[in-house]
Structures are given as structure tokens and as C-alpha cells.
Amino acid sequence: MFEVEIYARGLREMGNILELDRQLVQIAGLRYKVDTNHDIVYLEFDEPTLSIRDIRTIFLKLGLEPLIIGAIPPELQSRTKTERLSV
């Protein structure tokens, strides 16, 4: 099981909560809870179906800036590796 806690200022607005729900309900194996008093979303995955980059994209589409609270599980980190360019 993988858990991620995200703070996104402005999340407590009803339109943002409804749109986030529409985005997250489509993801298989994801459970989530929204703390509207503190603008926090708790995500829980059975399998690493999304990366942190994918999660950030969902929030950014809503006009919210997601801040990850705590450590990011290695399985959820971006799957693409970057290579240093030689000069």
C-alpha cells in the first residue's frame, strides 16, 4: 500500500472538490479523503498506478498548486530517468 498526503491551498472550494472527485474517481485502486478544513488530500494506492508527476498534473489542471507532505514513496516517483548532457 502506498500513501501520499497533499496540501493544495484553495481546495476547500466546492467547485474544486467536485472537479477533483471527477478526476480521482476514474483511477482504479485509489482511495482518497479530502480534509476541507485544512486543504489536504490523503491518497492511498494498492498499486503504484500514478506517479507524483501525474498527481501534480491533476491538481495543476484545477488551478491548484500541490505540495507533497512527507516522503514520496519511491514507487510513485517519476518513471522516466534523465541523463546529463555532455558538453
CATH 3.30.70.100 fits 2-72, yes or no: yes
6 pLDDT band (50/70/90 cuts)? very high
Q: Is 22 left (phi over 0), alpha (psi -120 to 50) or beta?
A: alpha
The pLDDT of residue 55 is above 70: yes
Q: For 10-52, how does the pLDDT look when each residue is reduced to its tens digit (9 = 90+)?
A: 888 899 999 999 999 988 889 999 998 899 999 998 887 888 8
Q: Output the pTM of the full model.
A: 0.79
DSSP letter at 70 equals S
